[in-house]
A and B are shown apart, each in its own frame.
Chain A
Amino acid sequence: MTAASLRSKDLVGIEPLTPDEITLLLDTAESMRAIGERAIKKVPALRGRMVVNLFFEASTRTRFSFETAEKWLSADSLNFAAKGSSVEKGESLLDTARNLQAMSPDLIVIRHGSPGVPHFLARHLKAGVVNAGDGAHEHPTQALLDALTIRQKLGRVEGLNVTIAGDIAHSRVVRSNIWLLTKMGAKVTVCGPPTLLPVHIDRMGVRATTDFDAALDGADVVMMLRMQLERQGKSLFPSVREYFRHYGLDAKRLSRANPKAIVMHPGPMNRGVEIASDIADSDRSVILEQVSNGVAVRMAVLYLLLGGHPWEGES
C-alpha cells in the first residue's frame, strides 16, 4: 500500500518519513525518469511555481541536479549561492528566512554546512523546505536516488546486505541511507577506521565494524564514501596510503562481496583513496546511473511537496 501524498510540506530528512512515503517517492521518481528519456524534456507540472535554490556550500552535482529537475517540471527557479555562516555574513539566519519569505517562494532547496538549518527554515517559512545536505546530518535526496538505483539494479531493497564504508562520522549521505535502508528492510553494515566511526552509531540500527574485509563478506551493495582529504594529517587518519591500504576498495577486496554486488559512490570520488580506478570504471559500478537517477528523484520530491498526486504521466 503506497501513500497518496507526503504528510509534511518539507523534506528535512529521511528520518521522519514512513516506508509508504519512501515508496511513493521512489515510484514517482520511476515514472519521472521517462521525461528525461524524451527529446523534449519538459512538462508543465510546476508552471508558475517558484523554487529558490539556496546553496551555502559548494555543490555541482546536487545543484545541477535540482536545477535540471526544476526546469524539466517548468518551475521558475532562482539560484542563490553564498559562502559561510550567518555569523560571517553578519545577518542572522532568521533575517535570511524573513527575506526569503518576502519573495513568496513555493519551495526552498537548501544546502548548508550546519546541521539543522533546514529545520530552522521549515519552522519560519510558509514555503516548503527541501534539505539538499545539512552538515553531517542528512542528505535525503541522495539516499532516495541511491535506493532508486538499488531497486533498478537488484529489484528490491528489502533483505539486501548493504555495506557503507569510509568516513562515517562526517557523512550526511550515510545517515540518510541508514534511515532509508533500515526503514525499507535492508541490513546495513557501516565500516570505517575507529577515528571516523561516530559513537553509538549502532544505535541507529546498523552493524558497525572497523574490519573492511569482514564488512564486505556477502554484501549485495557496496557504497563507498568520499574521504575528505582535508582531514588527512589530523589525528583522524595519518596518510592517504595508509587509508587506501586498509579501507580502499579494490578488486581483491570486492571479491569478498556477493558476485553480483553493485558498487556505489555519491561523488565526488577520490580515485586511489577510497576506491581503485578500475573498480570505479568497472561494470559493477553504478556511479553514473546514480547521477541520472538524481534528477528523477528530485523531480519527484519537488512535484510531491508542491501538492502533486501520484504521477500518472501526462494526460
Chain B
Amino acid sequence: MSRALLVRGGNVVDPVAGRNGRADVLLKDGLVAEVADRIEAGDAEVFDAARLHVFPGFIDLHTHLREPGREYAETIHTGLRAAAAGGFTAVCAMPNTSPVNDSREVCEFIRLRGEGAASARLYPVGAISKGQKGEQMTAFGELAEAGAVALSDDGTWLADGGLLRAAFEHAGLFGLPIVQHAEDRSLSEGAPMHEGAVSTRLGLSGQPAVAEAAAVARDLLLADLTRGRLHVAHLSTAASLELVRRAKASGLNVTCEVTPHHLLLTDEEVAASAYSTRTKMNPPLREASDLTALATGLADGTIDAIATDHAPHGADEKAVEFDNAPFGVVGLETAVSVVYDRLVARGRLSLERFAALFGAGPAKAFGLPGGTLAPGSPADLTLFDPETRWKVDPTRFVSKGRSTPFAGWELGGAPAATIVAGTIVWQRVEL
C-alpha cells in the first residue's frame, strides 16, 4: 500500500468531471480518493502544485519500445522512463518487436517488463496477424488475457480485406479495437516523403495523400459491415479526416489519433533541413492544407487523441541517405510541451480539449482505465508547469532515441511531475 498523497492547490483540469479550477486531489491506495476545493492533509504526504496544471494522467496510444529485439534503440525501461519524463502515465506498446508481439508469451514478457520498470504503465498492443505478415490471425483471446488492449499490424496496413473482416468480427468477442496504419502500399510504394511540390523539387519519390485516404475508406466500409471497432493510427491528411468525420456522423464506432509532428510541421521541413532524416517518418509530413484540417479536427472532436508514434532508432541507422533511412522519430519527451506551447498557449486549442486529447480521449479509444480524476479512478496524474521555458536538446533525452524534428525548439511549458498509482515516478529537476 502506498502512502496517501495530497496534490495541493493545482489547477485541476478534468473535462470528464467538468472541472477546471483550483482544487486539491487526494490519492490513496493507488486510486483517486477525493477531489475538492480544500482537503485536509491528515497523514498524507503533500505535493505543492500551486503553480501547476493537474491533469488526469496522459496516455500515449502509439509508442514503439523496441524490446524485445532492438534493445540498442530503446528498452522497455528507457522507453517508460522517457514516457514519464514527458508527462505520460501510460503508453501503449506497438507490436513490431522482434519477435513480433503475436503470442501470449511475448505479450506477457512485455507486460511484465513494464511492471518491473516501476515507471509509466505499459499496455501491450498485440499483432492482428502472425508475424505481422497479414496472412493468419493471431489468438486474440490469449493476447487479451496476456494484457493486450488493442490489435494492430502496426507499420503494415492489413491489406487483405477478408482477413480484416474476420479480425473485426473476432476482436468484437474481446472488445478489442483494431488499429490500422492506413497506407495502401501499391500507391505509396514506400516513398520516403509526402508527394507534392516539395518532393518534386527535392527529387524524392512521394507518397500521395490518397494512399492513406483510400486505405481509411476501405477500413471504414468493413468496420461498417461488421460493426467493428476501428481506430485509425496517426491520421495525417485532410481527406482521411473528412472520411472519419462522416463515418462518425453516420454512427460508426471509429476513433483516430494524430501526432504532434503532423499537427505542426509540413513537408517543407524536409527541404528546410536539407534532407535531414529527423524529418523522415511514416506517414510523412504533409501540406499546410492538411495541418489546417487537422487543427479543425482537434477542436471539433473528430480527432480523439494525440499520440506520439515514438519510434526510436539507433543513431547510425538514421545517419544514412534520406531515402534509405528508417522511418520514425522520437516523441515521448516533446509531445506534451510542443502541443501546449504551439496550440494551447497560442489560443488555438482550449486547455480542456488538450486534457481530453491526451487523457480521456485515448482512454476511451482503447477502453483503458483513467482519463478522469473521478474518485475510484487510477491515481495517475500529469502535473504540468505552464511557465517553465526550455529548449529541446535531444542529447538530454531519457529515451535512447535522439532523432526529432523538434530539436532546438524553444518551448513554454513543461511536465513537472508524473504520478502513477499514487507514486511520483518522475519529477523535473531544474539544472
Contacts from A to B (Cβ < 8 Å) = 12, 15, 85-87, 92-95, 112, 114-117, 119-120, 122-123, 134-138, 172, 175, 198-201, 203-204
B388 on the A face (CB < 8 A): no
Taken residue by residue from 296 to 331, chain B's Cβ proximity to chain A (1 for < 8 Å, 0 otherwise) reads as 000000000000000000001101111110000000
B307 CB to closest chain A CB, in angstroms? 28
Beyond A175-B203, A198-B199, 8 additional contacts (C-beta under 8 Å) are A86-B320, A87-B320, A92-B316, A92-B320, A135-B323, A136-B204, A199-B196, A204-B200
Q: Choose among A114, A123, A175, A200 the residue that contacts B274 (Cβ–Cβ < 8 A).
A: A123
Task: Identify which of A115, A136, A137 gathers the most chain B CB atoms within 10 Å of its CB.
Answer: A115
28 chain-A/chain-B pairs, Cβ below 8 angstroms:
A85-B324, A87-B320, A92-B319, A92-B320, A94-B316, A94-B320, A114-B321, A114-B322, A114-B323, A114-B324, A115-B202, A115-B323, A116-B274, A120-B274, A122-B274, A134-B203, A135-B203, A135-B323, A137-B203, A175-B201, A199-B196, A199-B206, A200-B200, A201-B200, A203-B201, A204-B197, A204-B200, A204-B201
A86 CB to closest chain B CB, in angstroms? 5
Also in contact, A86 and B324, with CB within 8 A (given A116-B275, A123-B274): yes
Also in contact, A85 and B320, with CB within 8 A (given A116-B274, A119-B275, A200-B196): yes
Q: Choose among A116, A122, A136, A175 the residue that contacts B321 (Cβ–Cβ < 8 A).
A: A116
B405 CB to closest chain A CB, in angstroms? 15
Within 270-303 of B, Cβ neighbours of A (below 8 Å) are at 274-275
Complex Cα gap A200–B316 (Å): 34
B197: which A residues are within 8 A, CB to CB?
Answer: 199-200, 203-204
Is the pair B200, A198 in contact by a Cβ cutoff of 8 Å?
Answer: yes
Complex Cα gap A123–B273 (Å): 11
Also in contact, A115 and B275, with CB within 8 A (given A198-B200, A200-B196): yes
B380 on the A face (CB < 8 A): no
A204: which B residues are within 8 A, CB to CB?
Answer: 197, 200-201
Is the pair B274, A119 in contact by a Cβ cutoff of 8 Å?
Answer: yes
Complex Cα gap A93–B316 (Å): 9
Nearest CB in chain A to that of B198: its residue: A200
A114: which B residues are within 8 A, CB to CB?
Answer: 321-324
A93: which B residues are within 8 A, CB to CB?
Answer: 319-321
B195 on the A face (CB < 8 A): yes
A49 CB to closest chain B CB, in angstroms? 26
B54 CB to closest chain A CB, in angstroms? 43
Taken residue by residue from 172 to 214, chain B's Cβ proximity to chain A (1 for < 8 Å, 0 otherwise) reads as 0000000000000000000000011101111110101000000
Complex Cα gap A116–B324 (Å): 11
B195 CB to closest chain A CB, in angstroms? 6
Is the pair A136, B203 in contact by a Cβ cutoff of 8 Å?
Answer: yes
A138: which B residues are within 8 A, CB to CB?
Answer: 203
Complex Cα gap A86–B318 (Å): 11
A117: which B residues are within 8 A, CB to CB?
Answer: 321
Is the pair B200, A199 in contact by a Cβ cutoff of 8 Å?
Answer: yes
A200: which B residues are within 8 A, CB to CB?
Answer: 196-197, 200
A115: which B residues are within 8 A, CB to CB?
Answer: 202-204, 275, 322-323
B207 CB to closest chain A CB, in angstroms? 12
Complex Cα gap A172–B316 (Å): 28
